Amino acid sequence: MIKGSWTQKPTYLGQSDLIVDLPGQPQVEFRHYASYVRINEDKSMFYWFYKAVKAPSKKPLLLWLNGGPGCSTIAKGALQELGPFLVTNDGSNLVFNPYTWSNVANLLFLESPVGVGFSYSNKSSDLENQNDEIIAKDTYTFLINWFIKFPEFKSHEFYIAGESYADVAVPMQSTRDSIMSMNLTEKIGDMWGGWRKWYYEGQIAGWMVEYVEGLSFITIRGAGHMVPTDAPGRALTIFSQFIKGGTLPNSTNTKI
């Protein structure tokens, strides 16, 4: 729901998608945008884009996708997990999320595939005939057209992240087997093999293996299916260190 209007002359196409206010929205200084991007004459996909809380021109761009397939990225990822606004338990208000990933990146949430959330098609056959290849092509077309709306972000570092369906398609053991097949060199850990503990706020947050070639395989202790909801601080720490090219704390005294 968009309230109010934007009277300043747009400097780029995306400016017309600016959200001025939302019911129950806390006062914030960053800007956020929501609207449709046309895929073809029948399909349109809905997005919600939050500029980083501070210095968005210097932060990377992250595309977040929820899984299912069929789970709303707006309802889950944006408003229950890593977006800057969270819906209160009674649904009456929005509160600021101190663990939002927009602390370290510009966040782009996409309702995908077509038929999920506000993304739609005028042809029922588009909803009945979905597969990974079609979804990937639609997402690619979305990004090409979205960058026309926001050309200033073409030069930013770009990341894609998500949850759920990726876990089904590439389960943990298959991931480990794939990594092992690369014959990478494990760094020395403090446990079995190359595994070591990593810490968050003085406690063991999970276990990880680091490889000399630059790859890391990380687990989060006690996290459920929706990691940014179950372990928001640890999830933000992992993402923040990833985009900075850093590593996770290996003792209770290590500071990030």
Q: Spell out, as residue ranges, where the chain has pLDDT lower than 50.
A: 1-10, 166-174, 256
| pLDDT (tens digit per residue) in 89-123 | 888 899 999 999 999 999 999 999 999 999 999 99
Q: Cis before residue 10, ω within 30 degrees of 0?
A: no
| pLDDT per position as a tens digit, 72-87 | 999 999 999 999 999 9
The whole-number pLDDT of residue 251 equals: 67
pLDDT at 211: 85
pLDDT for 177: 62
Quote the pLDDT of residue 253.
54
Task: Quote the radius of gyration of the chain (alpha carbons, Å).
Answer: 20
User: CA 233, CA 64: separation in Å to the nearest integer?
Assistant: 18
Determine the pLDDT at residue 192. 62
Query: Distance between CA atoms of 47 and 190, rounded to whole angstroms?
Result: 43
How many whole angstroms separate alpha carbon 194 and alpha carbon 191? 7
Contacts 24+ apart (CB under 8 A), 24-27: 24/88, 24/92, 24/93, 24/94, 25/85, 25/94, 26/85, 26/94, 26/95, 26/96
pTM (2 decimals)? 0.79
- Using CA atoms of 49, 55, 57, 63 in order, give the dihedral in degrees to the nearest 10: -30
Q: So what's the pLDDT on residue 125? A: 93
Q: What percent of the chain has pLDDT over 70?
A: 86
Residue type, 61: L
Q: What is the pLDDT of residue 170?
A: 33
Task: Note the helical H segments in the chain.
Answer: 124-128, 132-149, 165-169, 172-181, 227-230, 232-244
